[in-house]
Amino acid sequence: MKSFPSGPAYAPALLTIDLNALAWNWRFLSDTAAPAKAAAVVKANGYGLGTEPVVSTLASAGCRLFFAAQLSEAIAVRNALPNPEIEVGVLNGLMAGEEDAYPEYNLFPVLNDLSQVDRWAAYCASNGARAAAVQLDSGMTRVGLPHYEAEALASDPDRLSGFECRYLMSHMACADDPDHPLNAQQRDRFAAMVPRIPHSHAMLAASSATFLGPAWHFDYIRPGVALYGGRPNTLSANPLRQVIKLEGKILQIQDVDAPQTVGYGAGHKVEKPGRIATIGVGYADGYLRSLSNKATAVLHGVTVPLVGRVSMDLITFDITDVPDAKVGDKMELIGPSHTIDDLADQAGTIGYEILTSLGNRYARRYVGASE
């Protein structure tokens, strides 16, 4: 099997990416939504895990439809795919002057307003019919045809006659909150437009909405963060496998006692005898500064607290309760015992930000499908 770059040598932290878990998550989501099919969102460098290994793994698992956010990302996805028949879409819309790139790289645009619909129709009239997706704004108020443009298109569907609307799609705003009333409202708004706008396949649910039930699945689901192990919501156990594990080596251990302090700004005050371990990871690596005095990690099976501020290259943990720890031991910063969502909760953010912030200074080890 193909191998992938492992990252910088001699790095003090190791990011292990389990490609088998990634493939398992896609198959699980596909089975959950069946008979609907599953696409895959691989934007932002495969949610921080590497476009080439992520795309290659998911294609081998059976995925035949991918989405990136930006045109440059989609070109990288196309270059990572072995099969030109696998489809790749660009979510952020058709920008003026970029039309020729779509046939050149065998991509399709997601059209987000009527001007994009008309421009793509005109381009296809002059250059040959091609596919596109049309996105409706059913309640996000971000990208997609707003309701008045969707009504105009439904009243004049001949505006689509110059190309194939292969996917009619929308995006959910509150699907990670299963009880939010907007979930049903968006589903109903989208469902009402499905028979009115000519298309080949309808698509609404991303990661969290996949778990709202069959009424949200339509013809395709479009998971993103769930592929990488992120939880669908906070109300039930996460059924997905963890894809990443981040371990940092202990660089130094110091015996401490009051009235010593730890880190910039004397951010932690030592109150009793103990031991402080320093790890070579910091906010330059995507370990967020908001984790200062809040994060935990796991060392030899024991949960230990981060003390002091997160600095650019270093973090410090109180390892007093792990007396056998020594320099060179690995601490689990993210992993089965301390997931991306656990760390995100401590940082006051979401798992998406933890994943997409993973730094390029980590040594990366891909295990599973690439071995």
Catalytic positions, written as ranges: 43, 264
253: its two tokens: 């251990």
Ligand-binding site membership of 172 (annotated): no
Length of the chain, in residues:
371
Q: What is the rounded (10 degree) CA torsion for 129, 144, 70, 221?
A: -90
Q: How many other C-beta atoms are found inside a 10 Å radius of the C-beta of residue 253?
A: 15
Q: Could you say which DSSP state residue 136 is in?
A: B
Q: Who's near 99: CB < 8 A, 6+ residues apart?
A: 119, 120, 123, 127
- Round to whole Å and give the CA distance between 277 and 326: 9
Q: How many other C-beta atoms are found inside a 10 Å radius of the C-beta of residue 271?
A: 11
Ligand-binding site membership of 169 (annotated): no
Residue 198 · residue 117 · CB < 8 Å: no
Q: How many other C-beta atoms are found inside a 10 Å radius of the C-beta of residue 76?
A: 18
Q: Who's near 308: CB < 8 A, 6+ residues apart?
A: 261, 262, 263, 264, 267, 268, 292, 293, 315, 316
**Which residues sit in the known binding site for substrate?**
142, 312
What residues are designated binding site? 142, 312
